């Protein structure tokens, strides 16, 4: 049975949350392409909020200001349950829309990669590279788009059914590459990042996967009473082979953070990070060991906060190695009636 056969028979079991951000990634004219190549030696090219534009020795009609565009510029998928095939399109009615601005039809090759294998050295903080990019695939490996037309590329996910793959934050790079034509050893390409968050679960057997991991990855405060303190706990796992010292800070309130690449749809950034008090903002954990982190939430008792939904992202940075994060979700009660 193929993955698509499995999907058609088991779609009713699949539940996940999805959102998109950014206005899309574009490959520009030949003159702009040459300028961008020179700039690449000095800085990383970014378009929209999270799409890296890769120019692969491409041929673009000089008379056209834009030849290839992909939208959206970034994707965030949450609540992915290991062992289930997830179709982003069936959930959100959104895939990658590929725009061919040329006056000729073009065929594009669709693929998924670990970011580091295609030259990406930086991505959203707290996400680790997906262990196996084959867990993410397109419905078709190739897509032909007519002249001055657009096509839709559907994306699927299937994380292996193992306990260790709960509580994960991964990033995968989606490639849209122009298929080289006979006599032309050149092609255009666009890379877009997909952020994946698997279902949060506190009672998994053993430790979650990854050099840094959490149980659970999301701490929820539901029906929060204003003015009253509420407690939460998360276990931080050091899966490295050396002792690590971790510093824990608010990620959303850092100036350089693009908040909408992290926020769940319908949630806002917590107005004041001081509403959450950590028992400790620094932890030292031995290799293969875990430590519990306690935190206290207290939302001011003000009428304007009733019914609000907020998020905070706690960045957990080791003294060496990649960081991770803990998502905090807060829903204040709608009235002051108990």
> Within 13 Å of residue 74, how many CA atoms lie on the same side as its CB?
21
User: What is the side-by-side strand order in the sheet with 66-71?
Assistant: 25-28, 66-71, 96-100, 149-153
138-150 pLDDT tens trace: 999 999 999 999 9
293 close to 314: Cβ distance less than 8 angstroms: no
Q: What are phi and psi of 15, to 5 degrees?
A: -135, 130
Q: Judge if 3-198 and 212-332 fold alike in CATH terms.
A: yes
Q: Which residues contact 132 (CB under 8 A, 6 or more apart)?
A: none
Percent of the chain with pLDDT over 70: 78
Domain ranges, ordered by start, for the chain:
3-198, 212-332
Taking residues 4-12, report their average pLDDT.
40
pLDDT of 104-161, one tens digit each? 999 999 999 999 999 888 899 999 999 999 999 999 999 999 999 999 999 999 999 9
Q: DSSP string of 276-325?
A: EEES-SEEEE-TT-EEEEEEEE-----GGGTT-EEEEEEEEEESSS--EE
pLDDT of residue 4: 44
Question: Whole-structure pTM over 0.85, yes or no?
Answer: no
Mean pLDDT of the chain: 83
CATH topology of domain 212-332: Immunoglobulin-like (2.60.40)
The pLDDT of residue 188: 75
CATH label, 3-198, candidates 1.10.3720.10, 3.40.50.10490, 2.60.40.10, 3.20.190.10: 2.60.40.10
Which of 33-37, 69-73, 270-274 is the least confident region?
Answer: 33-37
């Amino acid at each position: 049975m193929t993955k698509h056969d499995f999907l058609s028979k088991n779609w009713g079991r699949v539940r996940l949350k999805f959102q998109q951000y950014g206005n899309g990634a574009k490959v520009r004219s030949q003159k702009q392409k040459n300028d961008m190549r020179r700039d690449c030696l000095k800085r990383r090219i970014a378009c929209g909020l999270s799409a890296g534009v890769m120019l692969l020795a491409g041929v673009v009609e000089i008379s056209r200001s834009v030849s290839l565009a992909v939208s959206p510029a970034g994707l965030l998928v949450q609540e992915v349950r290991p062992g289930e095939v997830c179709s982003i399109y069936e959930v959100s009615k959104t895939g990658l829309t590929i725009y061919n601005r040329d006056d000729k039809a073009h065929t594009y090759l669709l693929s998924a990669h670990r970011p580091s294998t295609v030259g990406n050295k930086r991505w959203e903080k707290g996400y680790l590279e997906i262990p196996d990019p084959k867990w993410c695939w397109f419905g078709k490996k190739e897509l032909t788009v007519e002249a001055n037309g657009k096509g839709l590329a559907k994306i699927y996910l299937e994380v292996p059914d193992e306990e260790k793959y709960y509580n994960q934050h991964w990033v995968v790079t989606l490639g849209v590459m122009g298929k080289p034509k006979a006599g032309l050893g050149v092609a255009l390409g666009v890379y877009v990042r997909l952020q994946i968050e698997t279902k949060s679960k506190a009672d998994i057997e053993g430790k979650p996967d990854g050099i840094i991991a959490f149980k659970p990855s999301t701490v929820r405060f539901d029906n929060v009473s204003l003015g009253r303190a509420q407690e939460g706990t998360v276990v931080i796992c050091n899966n490295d082979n050396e002792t690590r010292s971790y510093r824990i800070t608010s990620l959303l309130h850092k100036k350089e953070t693009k908040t909408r690449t992290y926020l769940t749809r319908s949630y806002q950034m917590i107005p004041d990070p001081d509403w959450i008090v950590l028992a400790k903002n620094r932890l030292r954990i031995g290799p293969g060991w875990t430590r519990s982190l306690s935190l206290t939430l207290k939302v001011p008792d003000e009428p304007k906060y009733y019914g609000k939904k907020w998020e905070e992202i706690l960045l957990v940075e080791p003294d060496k190695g990649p960081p991770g994060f803990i998502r905090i979700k807060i829903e204040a009660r709608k009235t002051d009636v108990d």
